[in-house]
Amino acid sequence: MVKVPSGEMNGVGYELGKELARRMGIPYEPVIYQTPKLLIEDVKSAKWDISFIAQDPDREKILDFTSVYLSLEHGYLVPSGSPIQMMSDLDKALDAFAANKANLFAIADKLPGSHVLEGRFSVHRFALGVPKGREAGLAYARKFIEDAKAEGLVKAAANRAGVRGSAQE
């Protein structure tokens, strides 16, 4: 069984986890965490096997990662009527909401007149993380991610999930 933490029952990581389990011929069991912090706190619990999560230096201390399969830009959403039109306008005391652009575009769809500014201030790079000490699983995971990218599975999953704001690497 592949137990994969997931914040929701759809999306790119969810679909990739399901495909990984299918290819391995084993059941797929998504494990729901409300935040990445809670997921990381459980890394030694054996409640999950692999995670589709943003890579960062702290996580690299406890997880080994595949190559990046998806990069999401972080940017700003401004409300309708805002004088902010570009990121360079943000050096004033004005309202703007910062998050990854996939979330910002979803919010903007529900707030008429709001818009996501061009540009980015950072990028989250998502990869498949495996708890340290599982080298055989890591080798398989790395090949799976490379195959999934080459076969267009990541792009297709991102399109189905409506992911906008991905960065081109």
Confidence of residue 9 (pLDDT cuts 50, 70, 90): low
**What integer pLDDT is reported at residue 95 of this predicted model?**
80
Please check the confidence at residue 152 and state whether its pLDDT lies above 80. yes
C-alpha to C-alpha distance for 129 and 117, rounded to whole angstroms: 31
Choose among 137, 168, 160, 164: nearest CA to 13.
Answer: 160
Instruction: Say whether both 63 and 31 belong to one domain.
Output: yes
Same domain, 46 and 61: yes
Same domain, 137 and 109: no
- Report yes or no on 93 lying in a domain: yes
Q: What is the CATH number of the domain that holds 59?
A: 3.40.190.10
Residue 16 has pLDDT above 90, yes or no: yes
109 with 165: CB under 8 angstroms? no
- Asked if residue 128 and residue 67 are part of one domain, the reply reads yes
Q: Three-state DSSP class for 128?
A: strand
Kindly state whether residues 11 and 64 are assigned to the same domain: yes
pTM of the full predicted structure? 0.81
Residue 58 in any domain: the answer is yes
CB atoms within 10 A of CB 110: 7
What pLDDT sits at residue 86?
Answer: 86
Residues 110, 45: one domain? no
- pLDDT for 81-113, tens place per residue? 888 888 888 876 688 889 989 889 989 999 999
pLDDT band at 169 (very low <50, low <70, confident <90, very high): very low
Residues 153, 6, 66, 140, CA torsion sign: negative
Beta-strand (E) ranges in the chain?
2-6, 28-32, 51-54, 63-78, 97-100, 115-116, 122-131
Tell me the average pLDDT across 128-142.
Answer: 92
Query: What is the residue-averaged pLDDT of the chain?
Result: 88
Residue 167, in any domain of the structure:
no
Residue 1 clears pLDDT 70, i.e. is over it: no
Domain extent for 94: 73-116
DSSP summary character for residue 87: G
Note whether residue 52 is domain-resident: yes
- Looking at the fold, whether 67 and 10 belong to one and the same domain comes out as yes
What pLDDT, on a 0 to 100 scale, did the predictor assign at position 6? 54
Please state the domain count of the chain: 2
CA distance 104 to 108: 6
pLDDT value at residue 8: 54
